[in-house]
Amino acid sequence: MSSETKRSEKPLFTNKVLKKTSAFVLVLLLLSMLVPVLASAAIVFNGNFASDGIVSGQIKFDGSVGQTVYGQPQVSVGVYAANGEHLQDVTVSFASYANGVSTYTIPNATVINSVYDVVYFKYGTSDVTGNIYRDSESDDGGEDDGGNNGSGSGGSGNGGGGNTGGGSNGGSGNGGSDGGTGGPGQSGDVSDVIEASNGTVDADKLRAALNKYTEVTIKVTGDKVAIPASALVDANPKSILNIVTDHGTYILPLSAIDLTELADKVQTNVSDMKLHVALYALTGDKAAEVADVIKKIGGKPLSDAFEMSFAIEGASGATMNIANFDQYVKRKIPLKERPVQTATIALYNPDTKQLHFVPGSISSTEAAFWRTGNSIYTVLELNKTFNDTASHWAQSNIEQLASKLIVEGMTDTTFEPDRNLTRAEFVAFTTRAFGLVDVTDGTYFSDVGRGSWYSGMIAAAAKAGIINGYEDDMFRPDAPITREELAAIVVRAYRYAGGTVNVTDTEQTNILSRWSDANEIVWGQKEVAGAISAGFVQGMTNDTLETYGFATRAQTVTMLKRVLLSLNFMD
């Protein structure tokens, strides 16, 4: 949906034109006129965010931003948490200027007063760096691969790139503050580690820790633990339990569980109930089955496969497995091999023997991911290509999201990037990208029958509030999706995942006034303005949105990638 998108669909000139001097000069003039439009306004951080909060290094201002700050002895930039919270401002000093890039140095001993492990710099209202990760305090937190070199442009959320550094998240057992983004939020101080004895947490110790802290780490010897619900009754509902096992970490926000409702399921009192959390590494035939499926799709395992579960137990010994939560829950698993750019976190479904994308980020030592459900998870490498995307403007975006199991081709070898996307197809892309679990226990639209390939995904998106359908109680799954509908669904999905997109009526008017065809927006003015503000929509030309037009598969993939990067749902 960007101006670059439309211009890339056709060649600017042919070989015949190049032979004519006058036409050649004309092309050069046209290209020179396009430079201001195509140049991206970006800022890049090169430096280090130490474990003690001291940040050092330089910020480079490129493109139009570089021209804007040029000549200023000092520039003020904001420091934000990954969830968008403004933390403080930092004044940087001019160092050098070369080739349109203005470089400014961060003063020595600048301290970022933040409990968060992930921050970013922002200049003005829209230009941001990539995420900057605090170094781990432990010696085994992973190598530094330059992960703090990301950049963003034109208000594209937290930017792309820069999320691949090896030392970004540290080890799974350091008991440090977890700076999760997207679904889960961050909270408070972290307590000393509580040791689980014989697979059970002492209720008094846990209760005392939660009375003092909003984040408590439980260290488990083995792969499962029993937590007495009585210790959680009076805790801050925003508290988080970091359950660190021998095979990874299960991060349980208390806001994800309703103790009374759970106790009713096993006909017991909360004071008598236990919560069972388990995180196993698969072995034997089960492990071989996952490895075989990865091999069949042309992939390579980068970690073991891990099964995770959450169950409740009543006083009578009655138990019940809880398959899904109503919000994202974060987990971490270790890697066996160093990841590559196309590495992805995947859920394995033993019933269908299929792998599905899971939102998350990958460092050199572990994968951290968010999902509402409990299942089998693994990390793999896959390099997917299509015959009909070679040299296409969206080739890298399509191949990356296909390699991450988010989008599929029309066949194994073709993607049809310029074909219009149907509403059902986009819902499929979205539910995969956000890790939604198919819903089979209800019908939300009269024209979406059970048994169709998209019914479970459409129901899941409707349940999450991402799609609404039409006034006649229909969804029209086979209709091509318009860019207006696309923008609205993307904004709703972003909010569902914990992202913030809010524009006032005045901001909406100002944003839409830039586009000559904004009056063509039928009903989604607020959503389209929000998508533009967040950097998800950039326009078809320099002054048109064409929201009434149909979205192509390539355009949809590109927009979806921007959203996932801004949420840190992919690297």
Does residue 163 sit within a domain? no
DSSP 60-77: EEEHHHHHHHTT-SEEEE
Residue 208 sits in the same domain as residue 339:
yes
pLDDT, position 113:
63
Of the chain, the percentage scoring pLDDT greater than 70 comes to 81
Token code pair at residue 400: 């990356």
Position with higher pLDDT, 118 vs 465: 465
Residue 306 sits in the same domain as residue 356:
yes
pLDDT, position 191:
56
Residue 10: pLDDT over 50: no
Residue 406 sits in the same domain as residue 365:
no
Residue 55 sits in the same domain as residue 105:
yes
DSSP-assigned beta bridge partners for residue 58:
46, 105
Does residue 412 sit within a domain? yes
Per the CB < 8 A criterion, the answer to whether 112 and 48 are in contact is no
Position with higher pLDDT, 435 vs 289: 289
Q: What pLDDT, in 10s, does the model give residues 56-113?
A: 888 888 877 777 787 788 888 998 877 677 888 888 888 777 777 888 888 876 777 6
Alpha-carbon dihedral of residues 444, 448, 450, 452, nearest 10 degrees?
-140
Task: Give the Cα separation of 361 and 249 in Å (integer).
Answer: 14
Q: Which of 381, 409, 431 is the last residue of a domain?
A: 381
pLDDT, position 157:
35
Banded model confidence at residue 40, pLDDT cuts 50, 70, 90: very low
Summarize the chain as % helix, strand, coil (round to 5): 25, 25, 45
Q: Could you tell me which of 530, 485, 542, 534 has the C-alpha nearest to residue 505?
A: 530
Phi, psi of 312, deg, nearest 5: -120, 150
Residue 13 sits in the same domain as residue 96:
no
Token code pair at residue 279: 């995180």
Position with higher pLDDT, 512 vs 25: 512
Banded model confidence at residue 135, pLDDT cuts 50, 70, 90: confident
DSSP-assigned beta bridge partners for residue 549:
none
The residue written with tokens 């996307």 in the block is 421
The CATH number given to whatever domain includes residue 112 is: 2.60.40
pLDDT, position 254:
95
Residue 319 sits in the same domain as residue 215:
yes
Token code pair at residue 519: 């009056």
Three-state secondary-structure class, residue 278? strand
Banded model confidence at residue 477, pLDDT cuts 50, 70, 90: very high
Residue 154: pLDDT over 70: no
Q: What is the mean pLDDT of the chain?
A: 82
Boundaries of domain holding 34: 3-38
Q: Which of 326, 352, 381 is the last residue of a domain?
A: 381
> How many other CB atoms are there within 10 angstroms of residue 291's CB atom?
18
What's the total number of domains in the chain? 4
Does residue 313 sit within a domain? yes
Residue 57 sits in the same domain as residue 9:
no
Per the CB < 8 A criterion, the answer to whether 568 and 82 are in contact is yes
Q: Could you tell me which of 359, 360, 363, 414 has the C-alpha nearest to residue 386?
A: 414
Residue 353: pLDDT over 70: yes
Q: Could you tell me which of 254, 206, 558, 156 has the C-alpha nearest to residue 397?
A: 558
Residue 248 sits in the same domain as residue 346:
yes
DSSP 353-422: TEEEE--EEE-SSEEEEEEEE--EEEEEE-----TT-TT-TTHHHHHHHHHTTSS--SSSS---TTSBPB
Q: Which of 346, 381, 416 is the last residue of a domain?
A: 381
Strands (DSSP E) contained in 163-223 are: 194-195, 215-219
Task: Give the Cα separation of 495 and 438 in Å (integer).
Answer: 19
Does residue 183 sit within a domain? no
Does residue 506 sit within a domain? yes
Task: Give the Cα separation of 276 and 247 in Å (integer).
Answer: 16
First to last CA, the chain: 22
The residue written with tokens 């149909």 in the block is 550
pLDDT (average), residues 202-212: 94
Residue 199 sits in the same domain as residue 287:
yes
Token code pair at residue 251: 């991060």
Does residue 175 sit within a domain? no
Does residue 176 sit within a domain? no
The residue written with tokens 């403080």 in the block is 88
Whole-model pTM: value is 0.66
Residue 218 sits in the same domain as residue 273:
yes
The CATH number given to whatever domain includes residue 284 is: 2.60.220
pLDDT (average), residues 38-59: 73
Residue 192: pLDDT over 70: no
Single-letter residue type at 554: A
pLDDT, position 257:
96
Residue 26 sits in the same domain as residue 94:
no
Does residue 179 sit within a domain? no
Residue 34: pLDDT over 80: no
3-state secondary structure 474-530: CCCCCCECEHHHHHHHHHHHHHHCCCCCCCCHHHHHHHHCCCCCHHHCCCCHHHHHH
Strands (DSSP E) contained in 259-383 are: 274-281, 300-301, 306-313, 319-321, 324-334, 343-349, 354-357, 360-362, 366-373, 376-381
Residue 418 sits in the same domain as residue 550:
yes
